[in-house]
Amino acid sequence: MLIYFDWFYLSSLLITITLIVLFIFLFKKGNFLSLTSLKYLLAWNLFSILFTLNIIYFIGETYCRFFLDTTDSFAISKISQRWTNNHVKFNNANLRDNVDYDPQIKKKRRLSILGDSFTMGHGITDPDDRFGNILRKRFPDLEVHNIAFRGASSVSQLNAMKVIDSIGYEYDMVLLAYCLNDIDHFRGVNTLNTYRRIQLFESRLPLIAKESYFLNTIAFRYFALNEKDFMEYSNTVLEDYAGSAWHQQKEALTELTKHIESKNGKLVVMVFPFLQVDSADYKFYEVHDKLSLHFDSLRVPQINLLPIYKSDMGNDLTVNNFDAHPNEKAHQLAANEISRFLEVVLK
């Protein structure tokens, strides 16, 4: 925790101590309280307001700096960035996990999970609470590799597979944990502008809000609640499945499937729904149908997550109100569904 005790916090602490000492001195001496002059009364009131605001600020700064440990969907807040630095540790393959990976299969079977930040476990403090790590514990004869990274698209996942080919990576079962924004590579200019606007949040803040965890948190939440595309980001994805981006995405998914099969891998797909929206208001059912039909045409087995999530969508499946990634409960439910599939396949 001492790493957060920097010059900025030290300055805040010294100012707070000075004001407390001054407040006690003035209160005991009673100068301001005993004089009836308007200017002294105003001075006392202004000092009291300043003192109160500083105490509120210092308590907030201490809480946000030392106790608040959480994330946001885009990792743009100071607290979310600190969370990443504290909890995301990489293995020998430069992937988030607490075990190292070997290119050659060392156990009876291997499950390679292709995914993005959903699979990587953004917002999941303990990597063993991710569905991939849960599967590793449940199936001790199964190697589980989480080939997942933030911002991954279907195109970047294909490129990642080509990279690991060069080191002699051996394929067995490959689970594509598809997120609906994996179409990002083919999205239009408006979408790119949305990303840029969100990512520029911190650069537009005054210096004090960049240094203060408390002020940064207030600024972030104001931004998030007033930036429509932050809280309703999923809506910006919907239109891409109705236009040319979808045709390009189908080609990318076909190429990814053929590449895995060419390496003697057996592809399985599961599609994560956007979990922050109540199932009654969910707009992506047709998108799930499109994806299902396309993978059917490729003869790729599918694990359907919609039925197990449907009752809790919009309620208790995301990390927090500002982070739409799946939480521990959602990962547990996904692991249960994949386990049912693996119990049949691994017989």
**What confidence tens digit (pLDDT) does each residue in 114-142 have?**
999 999 999 999 999 999 999 999 999 99
Evaluate whether 273 touches 325 at the Cβ level (below 8 Å): no
CA dihedral (190, 195, 201, 202) positive or negative: negative
The domain limits of the chain are 2-66, 90-185+231-345
Has residue 181 got a pLDDT over 70?
A: yes
**What confidence tens digit (pLDDT) does each residue in 20-47 have?**
887 777 666 655 555 556 667 777 778 7
Task: Give residues with Cβ within 8 angstroms of 41, minimum separation 6.
Answer: 32, 35
User: So what's the pLDDT on residue 140?
Assistant: 95
Q: Which fold has domain 90-185+231-345?
A: Rossmann fold (3.40.50)
Length of the chain: 347
**What confidence tens digit (pLDDT) does each residue in 64-82 have?**
999 999 999 999 999 999 9
CA dihedral (65, 70, 75, 76) positive or negative: negative
- Show the tokens assigned to 311: 């009752």
CB hemisphere CA count around 135 (13 angstroms):
28
Has residue 194 got a pLDDT over 80?
A: no
